[in-house]
Every structure is written in C-alpha cells, then in structure tokens.
C-alpha cells in the first residue's frame, strides 16, 4: 500500500469524475471534494455508500447533503483562500469541511445541539482547525464574526433571512435555498455589490430540509 492509498481515496477520485461529468468545473472545488473523507461524516454502517451522489441520514431527521449540491453551492459562493465563510446548518460538518478546504475560516451554526457537538468533535479529530461550530439559530447569522465573504445556507427558508444579507461583506456572495417544504425551492445567489445594493440570481430548483425555528 502506497502512502496516498488512504481509505476512500479511490472512491473520492470516482466522485470527482462524476462531479465533472455533471458539469462542475472549478478546480479548487473539485480538489476540495476529492480531499474530504465523506465516510467520516456518516455512521459506520453507511460507509459503503458514503461516496454515492445522494443525501444520507445523519440522525434527528436531518441529512448530509448530496455531494453534487455541496460542490454546486461551494462553486456558487466561490470562497477564496483568504475569505471568511458563514455556513448555516452544520449537520454532519461535511459541507463545513469542504468550505474549510477553500477558505481561511469557516464559522458554522447548527440548531441541534447534539449534531453541533458531534460535528465539532469530528472536525477537530480530522484536523479542521479553521472551523468554528456554534449551536443556535443560523437565521440570525453570527454578528460577532461578520462580515463574511461567503455565506452558505443548507436548509430552506420561505424568505431569505435579512440578517444573513446584512452580514455579507461588499463583494460577498450568499447561496441559499428559498421556498416551501416540498418541490418549489430555488437555489438563490445574492451578491452584495455595494453597501445598499444586492443582486439576486436564481440558480435552479433544489430540495432541502426546512430551516427550523
Ligand atoms: N451542511 C450539512 C447539511 C445539513 S442539513 C452537512 O454537510 O451535513 C441542514 C441542517 O440545518 C440540519 O442539520 C439542521 O438541523 C440545520 N438547521 C435547520 N434549521 C436551522 C437553523 N435555524 N439554524 C441553524 N441550523 C439549522
């Protein structure tokens, strides 16, 4: 066994090929997807399917997002190496780990205390020293850490939470699913182009669990 034959490596190579085939092009995002060991973010009995391009249960009725969606959101939010990122909905911590490969700092807020604690321990064990996890209502953002160059929301709200837009740096990008509980959600990207000017784009239909609270 050579040194790069770490567990899951060949599955990650296959996942990256699949993401390329599905239209993902950003080389930094593809490298991040190829680096994060997704099997570490699911229960041991799901390790076999950890690299399938599908959401998986993580307990409490929540899911770890499908890799394609994680990559799409990272590409749309476009965090640079010096950027500070806010994630709403830590879940397993997988999305935060992908963002942590791309940005300088990731601050992530999770509603469910048990999920937040598990994600914090897992990210620390895997060496993600640039991720900070907090329990709370992510609709309020994280004012003490703002402004953010990128904001990624991983649960759907009927309306875009205003606090999240106001915590964007000028030039920053927010990516969030917006819409009802069923199949009428759209992935929105909001760019803050000036202090009081935001540009909204619809990136297409998606399906996320609802934002709680
Ligand atoms: N990014 C996660 C996906 C999590 S699914 C991953 O990679 O595993 C969405 C998560 O958002 C769930 O864990 C859910 O508990 C959390 N969530 C829902 N409403 C929230 C809120 N108001 N504030 C913070 N987190 C919330």
Mean of the per-residue pLDDT values of the chain? 94
- Cα–Cα distance for residue pair 124/96, rounded to 1 Å: 12
Integer-rounded Cα radius of gyration of the chain:
16
Residue from 71, 87, 110, 128 to probe ligand 1 pocket by mutation (most atoms less than 8 Å from CB) = 110
> Which amino acid residue places its CA nearest to atom 13 of ligand 1?
91
Q: Please give the share of the chain, as a percent, with pLDDT higher than 70.
A: 97
At 109, is the pLDDT very low, low, confident or very high (cuts 50, 70, 90)? very high
Confidence (pTM): 0.96
Q: What is the pLDDT of residue 4?
A: 56
Lowest mean pLDDT among 28-37, 55-64, 69-78, 152-161: 55-64
Residues 6+ apart with CB under 8 A from 154: 65, 73, 87, 88, 89, 91, 95, 177, 208
- Assess contact for 131 and 108: CB atoms under 8 A: yes
Ranges of H-type helices in 78-195: 94-102, 113-125, 162-166
* Token pair 């939010």: residue: 77
Q: Whose CA is nearest to atom 2 of ligand 1?
A: 91
d(CA 185, CA 39) in angstroms, rounded, equals 28
7-48 pLDDT tens trace: 788 999 999 999 999 999 999 999 999 999 999 999 999 999
Measured in angstroms, how far is the CA atom of residue 166 from the centroid of ligand 1?
A: 20
CA distances from 109 to 22, 44, 122, 195 (A): 29, 25, 15, 25
pLDDT recorded at residue 5? 59
Are the CB atoms for 119 and 133 separated by under 8 Å? Answer: yes
């Amino acid at each position: 066994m050579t040194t790069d034959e770490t567990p899951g490596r060949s599955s990650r190579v296959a996942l990256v090929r699949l993401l390329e085939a599905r239209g993902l092009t950003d080389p930094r995002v593809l490298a991040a997807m190829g680096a994060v060991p997704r099997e570490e973010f699911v229960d041991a009995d799901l390790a076999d399917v950890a690299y399938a391009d599908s959401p998986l249960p993580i307990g409490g009725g929540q899911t770890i997002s499908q890799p394609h969606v994680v990559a799409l959101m990272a590409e749309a939010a476009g965090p640079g190496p010096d950027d500070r990122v806010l994630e709403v909905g830590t879940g397993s911590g997988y999305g935060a780990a992908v963002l942590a490969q791309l940005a300088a700092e990731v601050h992530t807020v999770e509603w469910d205390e048990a999920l937040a604690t598990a994600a914090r321990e897992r990210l620390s064990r895997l060496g993600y020293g640039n991720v900070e996890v907090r329990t709370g209502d992510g609709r309020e953002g994280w004012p003490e850490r703002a402004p953010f160059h990128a904001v990624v929301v991983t649960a759907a709200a009927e309306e875009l939470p205003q606090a999240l837009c106001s915590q964007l740096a000028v030039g920053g990008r927010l990516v969030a699913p917006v819409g009802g509980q069923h199949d009428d959600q759209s992935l929105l990207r909001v760019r803050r182009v000036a202090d009081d000017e935001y540009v909204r784009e619809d990136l297409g239909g998606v399906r996320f669990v609802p934002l709680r609270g």
